[in-house]
Structure 1
Amino acid sequence: MVPAHAPWLVALSLLVAFQGSYVGLHLARQIGNARARSQRALITGSALTLALGIWTMHFVGMLALELPVAIDFLVLPTLISFLVCVLVVGFAVFAVGTLSPSRMHAALASLFMGGGIVTMHYLGMYALHTSAHMTHDPFFVAASVVIGIGASGTALWFGFGPGAKRSVLLSAVLMALAISAMHYTAMAGLRLQIHDAMSPADMPALSPGLLAIVVSVVAFVVSGLFLLTLVPSRAEVAVTGPVAVVTELAQEPAAESHPAPQHKTLPVEKDGRRLQLDIARLVAVQAQAHYTSLFDGELSWFCPLPISEVEAQLDPTVFARVHRSHIVNLDRIAAIKKTADSDIVAMMAKIPYQAPVSRSRRSWLKQRLDGRETAA
């Protein structure tokens, strides 16, 4: 028989996927800007929330099956499927959140995460073998693998790539739809042969609908606790101490009788809000495709301007492009270090920061620093 689904449980599975995606992406966006001691907590929270949302969506989706017999789950395959989901999502979030950003890292993480989610799905389906014998259409299995990898790529792109600067709400909606598409594509290729009806002693204690509600509530509560505990408050993001001086664009103008000193600023974005970063606090600029990342000594901020436009607004006596993708504050250079392939500059900052130096700029930079030391 071709399985049918209870519409309200399908809707619940989509809601669970959206909520887990929303919280997981919120946490993922904080990893790059967090201090070292906070990164582990954010990676753990993001991985667990995403994994819990993905697994719960699949579990509720299976409970949505409308069968003429009661559904009973094998405990061991169900637990293993959850552990597989946590491990693969955790590894992917750790890889793209801590390693140097590259298409290769993102592609490998997507393949690993997508393959793990598909494995989790079919392990979870195996847990239903006490209720029915299942066969799977190879075409839909292959399609679910492709969609699973695509869903993983979508999650990682919106969590860590340039897409991470877009709306969290839009990102979570797209990710939830991708996760759900993988599950229901796999279910479209499922064929069931129902076993004999269970005896009353073998009937599960909870009905599928009640079990789905219980699991969903647990997932909502856990991810909600992660959100409340780990995501910084608005004040923490807007003002981060003396190193990062950032002001809201919507701020009220100063009174005319007490005009505030004018500082040159650069536009930055964080958590969907538009801000301004004081150039006087800028330590380094790194090109990110058509955008840039601005480092203020403690945090990195997304800037929608390309590196050429940022460079045009900087004082050339203070800032210099030492590499095609890096601009540094010359007054904040602590040392020049030699490596096997090239030189790098170490910056004076609360958080360690290094930038590569191109061959054409080595001599100029050394002369500039030597002149600074002589003048001092």
Structure 2
Amino acid sequence: MIDGLDPIALTHDPWLVALSIVVAMQGAYVGLSLAGRVGDAGGLRRRALVLGAAVSLAVGIWSMHFIGMLAARLPMAVDYLVVPTVFSFLVCVMVVGAAMLFAATDQPLWLRLGAGGAGMGAGIASMHYIGMGALAGSMTMHHAPAVVALSVALAVGASAAALWLCFEAHRQVLWASAIAMGLAISGMHYTAMAGMALHAAPGTGSQFHSTLSPDGLALTVAIVAFAVSGVFLAMLTPERREAGAAAAADQAGAGAVDEPPTERDAAYAVDAVARPAPLGGAGARSRKPFAALTVERAGAPLKLPVEAIRCVRANAHYTYVRDETQEYFCGLSIGEAEAALDPARFLRVHRSHIVNLDHVTAVRRAGDNGAVDLAGCGTVPVARGRLAALKRRFEAEQSARVRPLDAAE
């Protein structure tokens, strides 16, 4: 008992607890999935991805918090004050969005994960404690300082782990980053709840009367959260490109390297790469890689055969394509160039670089990341999360080249 007030025993509905964790993981999956594409995008699409990732994750975090509060069985009715509730959501959107945007940059790994994890964890914790301040009823609330620190540390640590799994590890473990992020959100919430003491206070009680039971209200919030995440995922997920027609047009003109294409041909080539296929490309013909890329040399357009390309480097919304002797300007973005090139020969080794495996001479570690040496093209940086895949591909290429020589001998 504190200051003569009666303590309130706090219990939770296990079904609503489970639902809150599922909602957190679902929001984390969509938010991190969209955030993982920020580094490959530019312009309006980049801003849309950041907004979609931040809102999806914030909706998941806020919904988990709200359902978690409904899971707590209190002996009195409570009101949810509008201003603190809305403010907690906005803080979460802004802080989490800024953290994911920073984590998608090319800053050093320790800085991106440290600052990004701290920012995201701070956003989760701020949302929780601001949201707790939105509760109004005949009770007083006390938080144990040690548990507050523990809950914040849990949110920061798990957020940093989720960002590493999302941006540095292989894309196949996106589900693991969603689980880590979901556990960070829900773990922070229930740890903080465990360190909270409620005491009944004399008063008139709440004027809040809902036509829905806590279970019904929690289910409604969960459905809305799933719907919001589904809308962002459907709108911002790129569908499979169908570039067969454009590839055929390039192949037809690949023999005349110095013959400049018309503006209509160049525009069609870009559009064919960027245009999404219906239903995500289901039932469409498999994409054929381009035989040549349209580039510019001294302001004059020409077609550069892909076998002559050593590497592709991103520059804002465009790229520079290099062969053995010089670098050319290309109107394609790095994502569009990746879609146009043969994945059996070209590999995206960095957010800003694609290399031709036929011209790789060495793969090595360089600090926290890696580097690849290209014949006649110098050194290209390799992201840490893609270094292992590049080494496997390079070793497989080397073995494939050695076996025919052994057979000939």
Residue aligning to 1:133 = 140
Instruction: Decide whether aligned partners of structure 1 residues 202 and 62 sit closer, same or farther in structure 2, where only a CA change above 3 A counts.
Output: closer
1:6 matched to which residue of 2?
13
Number of matched pairs: 293
Matched, 1:325 2:353: no
Q: Following TM superposition, by how much is the alpha carbon of 1:176 offset from its aligned partner in structure 2, in angstroms?
A: 1.0
State the AA in 2 paired with 1:299: I
Unaligned stretches of 5+ residues in structure 2: 1-7, 248-268, 274-287, 292-305, 315-320, 323-329, 339-345, 381-409
Aligned-residue RMSD, C-alpha:
4.3
Distance 1:238 1:67 in 2: 62
Code of the residue aligned with 1:283 in structure 2: it is: C
Report the CA distance shift for 1:77/1:167 in structure 2 as closer, same or farther (over 3 A): same
Q: Are 2:96 and 1:70 aligned?
A: no
Query: What is the rounded CA distance, in whole Å, between the counterparts of 1:79 and 1:200 in structure 2?
Result: 20
Q: Residues 5 and 320 from structure 1, CA distance in 2 versus in 1: closer, same or farther, beyond 3 angstroms?
A: closer
Any conservation in 2 of the 1:5–1:65 contact (CA below 8 Å)? yes
Comparing 149-158 with 13-22, greater Cα deviation is found at 149-158
Residue 36 of structure 1 corresponds to which residue in structure 2?
43
From 177, 180, 184, the equivalent of 1:174 is: 180
Residues in 1 aligned to 2:373 and 2:113: alpha-carbon distance in whole angstroms = 25
Preserved contact between residue 23 and residue 225 of structure 2 (Cα < 8 Å): yes
Counterparts of 1:1-376 in structure 2, within 5 Å, are 1-98=8-105, 100-160=107-167, 162-196=168-202, 202-235=208-241, 283-284=311-312, 298-299=333-334, 314-315=358-359, 325=371, 327=373, 330=376
- Deviation of 1:205 after TM superposition, in Å, equals 4.8
The whole-number CA distance in structure 2 between the counterparts of 1:171 and 1:218 is 23
CA–CA separation in structure 2 for the residues paired with 1:185 and 1:21? 19
Is this contact kept in 2: 1:70–1:198, CA < 8 A? Answer: no
Once residues 149 and 84 of structure 2 are traced to their aligned partners in structure 1, the CA distance between those partners, rounded to angstroms, is 22
Worse overlay, 107-116 or 56-65: 107-116
Query: What is the percent sequence identity of the aligned residues?
Result: 43
> What TM-score comes out, normalization by structure 2 length?
0.60
Distance 1:6 1:237 in 2: 52
- Normalising by structure 1, report the TM-score: 0.65
Contact 1:285 1:326 in 2 (8 A): no
Give the superposition deviation at 1:198.
5.4
Structure-1 separation of matches of 2:245 and 2:126: 44
Distance in 2 of aligned mates of 1:20 and 1:236: 30
